[in-house]
Amino acid sequence: MFADETSMLFTHSNFMEFHVNIETVLGNVNTWFEKKNCLSLNIEKTYYMHFKTKNSQPIDKSTCLDNNRISNNLCAKFLGLVVDNTLHWKPHVDHLINKLSTTCYVIRSVEPYVNTNAIIMIYLSLFHAVMTYGIIFW
């Protein structure tokens, strides 16, 4: 079994100590998963994200776990929201545009064949739910 959807947040004022802390904690977490709970950490799906301001310089420091490199992602899906490393909404909005345009197509396609109540139900389940999810974070 795999340990899916596990997230950790690290912070430190000194980057070198920060990097050492990440590798130490990742090793401890991996040990806890494997030895205590018979879970596996899938290294191919494991990545980290360095949050930064748009004016700060990117830091490309590789992180390893059991001699396997952990990649740095600039964007990730977290609890249904697309988050980028500068905490801008553009990647999430782009994702929503694709989803909502598909929903509009579905509604237009079925409109001649179903009654108004069915259209409203499709709208509420496919469009309204997607639009309002995560709006509190906006």
**Per the confidence metrics, is the pTM higher than 0.95?**
no
Least confident of 51-55, 80-84, 85-89, 90-94: 51-55
Q: What is the pLDDT confidence band of residue 58, given thresholds at 50, 70 and 90?
A: low
The pLDDT, as a whole number, for residue 60 is 64
Distance CA 22, CA 10 (A): 7
Q: What pLDDT, on a 0 to 100 scale, did the predictor assign at position 1?
A: 62
Domain count, the chain: 2
Q: Please state, in angstroms and rounded to a whole number, the distance separating the CA atoms of residues 78 and 49.
A: 12
Report if residue 138 sits inside a domain.
Answer: no
Q: Would 4 be classed as within a structural domain?
A: no
User: Could you list the residue range(s) of the whole structural domain that residue 23 is in?
Assistant: 15-73
Q: What is the pLDDT of residue 119?
A: 94
